[in-house]
A and B are shown apart, each in its own frame.
Chain A
Amino acid sequence: MTALVLRSLGRVRILSASLAIVLAGLQLAIIASASTFVDSGNFERLSQVLPAFVVQTMGPALTSFRGMVLFAYFDPLIVMLLVQFAIYLATEPAGEVESSLVDLLLARPLSRHVIVSRSFIVMAIATVLMSGAMQATTWAGLWWMAPPDSQWPALPTVFSLGAHMTLIAWCFGCAALAASGWARRRGAVVGAIGIVAIAAYLVELLESIWAPARQLAWASPFHYYAATGILAGTAPESRNLAVLSTIALAALALAYWRHQHRDL
């Protein structure tokens, strides 16, 4: 198992490092921007010029220093980047079927569940590292660039946002791992689950303005990531984390079952 995990991590090390650098750099840029806003007193002006519904929707995310420095944790592009990364990593079994590497691996005394466990571990390690890189850069950036009188975000808030973001990625990663059990082409699973993730995000986004989306929103993992509520301290964080964990575990269980029964 260790050899398989190390091999898989080795294959994505450059991609992972590049992504971590991009996310860390983005986080530093956001903190630098927020610091400039504090220095020039723009937060007060921003809260006055922004429409009321924007302020209501975004909460303190755009109108306070502690909210803005955490913007990357719920920015749709960043979250989707992490989700797509998790999907790509978790579809390694489909890639191994496509390239016939699975023949070489499972012709040895290895159980099929090892392949699923390996892919989950690799996906989990890589996404936690991404989230960890963002969190580490957040504190480093604050220490380095935050104005002396600025209000820093609380440690539990940053941790909770990171945990939600990571679990959202795990939900789609585990779904992709399960879907790999039906696929012989990696690209097909990456594409299909990637589109499902985007659709799930749109459903959650449209929930407040479109009735059909409101009826479907409960099924979207993004429904359980109430970032502005976390910032405001009003979100049911424990419940949401439990729901996200359950979705991920259910998809993982399906992945184990499916890979155990499929033809390779």
Chain B
Amino acid sequence: MPAAAIETRGLTKYYGQVVGLENLSLEVAQGEVFGFLGANGAGKTTTIRMLLDLVRPTSGSASIFGFDCHRQGLEARRRVGYLPGEMPFYPELTGARYLQFLGSLVESRPSPARMEWLLRRFDVSDLDLKRRMRDYSHGMKRKLGLIQALMMEPPLLILDEPTSGLDPLMIEAFSETVDELARSGSTTVFLSSHILSEVERICQRIGLVRGGQLVAVRTLSELRGAAPRRMTVLFSAPVNGDLPTLPGATIVSREPAQWVLDVHGPVGEIIPRLASLPVADVQLAAFTLDETILRLLGHGHADRHVPKEVPYQPEGRT
């Protein structure tokens, strides 16, 4: 059985007394497109930086294709293409020199055909490449960031907020590229985002992180299946008195003329229980994926402080 593209075991990072990430255990299979979803500051970037050995974990471990991200970091990173959330650049360099410089930091060089394909895909012209990066727009820098991450054809792409600052056409080009990579099965994509539609469009599985903790890992179909439906029952006459037992339903609001319920499971068991009431209409609406995810992410407030019994290790392991 091949090693997972990404595997973390109890990965934890404390920044002083603040929890950056806590006890993350996750497996991303080879060839999978995995979305890591959470609000700003949820721990997405901390996870990515620990995978790249830029930040050392307080406890736990992470590996890429079986190589420990810290002890065998070079081997692990040899297999990674990375797009940072904030694209850093050398303002005095032209786009062409920038890509050339980044390409020169690895053993092999990107193939001219691959470069040509990427430049065409992301609509970067020769004229753009001749301009200094200080003159680039934010979107242009992101495009170059995507190109540099993809140019070595790495088996694992780690993308931090990949479509931030891209126009709709470029988002489409990016999605197409990820789709093609997913179809080929040769590349694993791990992308972090707080844009639900982006993750929904391209990811096969989603990890939801909140307050430094993994809330859920689900496929899209699982998420959709787990979503409740909202049932609104309208009455022709006011209904007071005790509420009948409604299996699988929770009451959202209750007024004499209307009940609003969230229904988990089959509706068929509820309908007969309503038969004795003056029901005028029943409206049923499915939650969108966005709503489902927001409900998962928005449940309560995570405690971002290190538990008292855990000793603080300022610099993590060596």
Contact = CB atoms under 8 A, between A and B. Distances in A.
Secondary structure dominating the interface of B? loop
Interface string A136-151: 0000000000000000
A103 B318 contact: no
Contact of A261 (B101, B105, B315): B315
A106 B49 CA distance: 10
Interface in B75-104: 75, 77-78, 80, 82, 84, 86, 88, 90, 92, 101-102, 104
B88 A263 contact: no
A239 interface: no
Interface residues of B, number: 28
A101 interface: yes
Given A108-B77, A262-B315, A103 B105 contact: no
A108 B105 contact: yes
Interface string A84-128: 000000000000000111111111111100000000000000000
Interface residues of A, number: 22
A11 B77 contact: no
Contact of B88 (A11, A103, A111, A261): A103
Nearest to A2: B104
A45 interface: no
A7 B98 CA distance: 10
Contacts of B75: 109
A193 B56 CA distance: 27
B88 A4 contact: no
B157 to A, nearest CB: 11
A50 B131 CA distance: 60
B318 A261 contact: yes
Given A3-B104, A103-B54, A263-B56, A109 B88 contact: no
B77 A107 contact: yes
B86 A100 contact: yes
Contacts of B92: 11
B106 A108 contact: yes
A90 to B, nearest CB: 19
A16 B80 CA distance: 36
A109 B315 contact: no
B84 A104 contact: yes
Given A99-B88, A100-B86, A100-B88, A105 B105 contact: yes
A129 interface: no
A101 to B, nearest CB: 4
Contact of B84 (A100, A108, A262, A263): A100
B53 interface: yes
Secondary structure dominating the interface of A? helix
Contact of A104 (B74, B102, B158): B102
Nearest to A99: B88
Contacts, number: 65
Nearest to B107: A109
B82 to A, nearest CB: 4
B29 interface: no
A100 B77 CA distance: 17
A264 interface: yes
Interface string A225-264: 0000000000000000000000000000000000011111
B55 interface: yes
A43 B9 CA distance: 78
A261 B53 CA distance: 11
Interface string B45-60: 0000100111110000
A3 B102 CA distance: 9
Contact of B78 (A101, A105, A109, A261): A109
A103 B56 CA distance: 14
B316 interface: yes
A254 to B, nearest CB: 15
A4 B102 CA distance: 10
A101 B186 CA distance: 28
Contacts of B315: 261-263
Given A100-B86, A103-B84, A110-B105, A264 B54 contact: yes
A257 to B, nearest CB: 10
Contacts of B86: 100
Interface of B: 49, 52-56, 74-75, 77-78, 80, 82, 84, 86, 88, 90, 92, 101-102, 104-107, 148, 158, 315-316, 318
14 contacts: A3-B101, A3-B104, A100-B88, A101-B90, A102-B54, A104-B84, A107-B82, A107-B84, A108-B102, A109-B74, A109-B75, A109-B107, A110-B74, A263-B55
Interface of A: 3-4, 7, 11, 99-111, 260-264
Given A104-B88, A264-B49, 14 more contacts: A3-B101, A4-B105, A100-B84, A100-B86, A100-B88, A103-B49, A103-B54, A104-B82, A106-B53, A108-B77, A109-B74, A110-B77, A261-B315, A263-B56
Among all A-B residue pairs, the 8 with the closest Cβ atoms: A107-B82, A3-B104, A100-B88, A109-B78, A264-B54, A101-B88, A109-B74, A263-B55
